[in-house]
Amino acid sequence: MIVPENLAEILKALGERLRDERLRRNETQRVFAGRIGVSIPTLCKMENGDHRVQLGHWAIALDLLDHAEDLEHLLAPKENLFEKYQRSQQPKRQRASRRGGK
């Protein structure tokens, strides 16, 4: 499978950030790979941006690095601009002052 160049660059950058975060936490490849549940060669592939690594391995790694919420942004529905405009045109609710107009 040929990976488009822009995607390969994104994966490579992601792998570098994974490596940087692992090193920042002072974990060896052996320890971190064990925590993810992968072999050291698989962790090396992740850190090198190999596109063949399973998404599940990335999900576990992100969770261990306290970035699991980043997965929420994958394939997030795009906001419908028409609906956003309609919401902005609706009148804003206002509440009366608690002082009762005194």
Identify the structural domains of the chain with CATH numbers, from first to last: 5-70 (1.10.260.40)
Q: Tokens standing for 38?
A: 């992968």
DSSP 8-state class, residue 77: P
Q: Which residue has the higher pLDDT, 89 or 27?
A: 27
User: Is pLDDT of 56 > 60?
Assistant: yes
> What are the helix (H) ranges across the chain?
5-24, 29-36, 40-47, 55-64, 81-89
Q: Which residue has the higher pLDDT, 88 or 28?
A: 28
25-28 long-range contacts, Cβ below 8 Å, gap at least 24?
25/65
- The token pair at 35 is 């925590």
| 80-102: pLDDT as tens digits | 777 777 778 877 777 777 775 55
d(CA 30, CA 45): 14
- Lowest pLDDT segment from 4-8, 66-70, 82-86: 82-86
